[in-house]
């Protein structure tokens, strides 16, 4: 079964609108990583969060790790067509097992 839940499954936005995807785990995670996969491509590492309540920013992208280390979010401000792709979270459990969420597919209309 799915160890890490991710919502929404799909998101269609107009260019310039904001976008958020959420990741939830039933158990505490050691850390969480975020990846982006373009259509037909492979996952590309974006960032890792380790500390409870951690917030990191990369230009228009803001990543958050929940206080209980069970949830995380990725927020994109003012989306651009280059943001199109599927965004995955991957939570680390039991030291060496990464569990990927099912991904949120983002489509940006120009």
Partner 1 sequence: ETGVTQSPTHLIKTRGQQVTLRCSSQSGHNTVSWYQQALGQGPQFIFQYYREEENGRGNFPPRFSGLQFPNYSSELNVNALELDDSALYLCASSLLPGQLNLHGYTFGSGTRLTVV
Binding stretches for partner 1 (CB under 8 A): 6, 30-31, 33, 35, 41-48, 88, 90, 92, 94-103
Q: Considering the complex, state which of residue 18 and residue 51 has its C-beta at the smaller distance from partner 1.
A: 51
Q: End-to-end distance of the chain based on CA atoms, in angstroms?
A: 37
Angle at 6 between CA 67 and CA 15, to 5 degrees: 100
Q: Residue 68 in contact with residue 80, Cβ under 8 Å? A: no
Nearest distance from C-beta of residue 86 to partner 1, angstroms: 8
CB of 18 to partner 1, least distance (A): 23
Cβ neighbours, 10 Å, residue 75? 15
Q: Give the nearer residue to partner 1 in terms of CB position, either 59 or 110.
A: 59
| Complex with partner 1: residue 95 or 110, whichever CB lies closer | 95
Q: Are 29 and 91 contacting, i.e. CB atoms less than 8 angstroms apart?
A: yes
């Amino acid at each position: 079964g799915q160890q890490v839940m991710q919502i929404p499954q799909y998101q269609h936005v107009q260019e310039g609108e904001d976008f958020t995807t959420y990741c939830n785990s039933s158990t505490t995670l050691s850390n969480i990583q975020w990846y982006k996969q373009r259509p037909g491509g492979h996952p590309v590492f974006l960032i890792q969060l380790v500390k409870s309540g951690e917030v990191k920013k990369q230009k228009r992208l803001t990543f958050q790790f929940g206080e209980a280390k069970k949830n995380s979010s990725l927020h994109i401000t003012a989306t651009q067509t280059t943001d199109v792709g599927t965004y995955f979270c991957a939570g680390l459990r039991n030291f060496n097992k990464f569990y990927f969420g099912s991904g949120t597919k983002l489509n940006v209309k120009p």
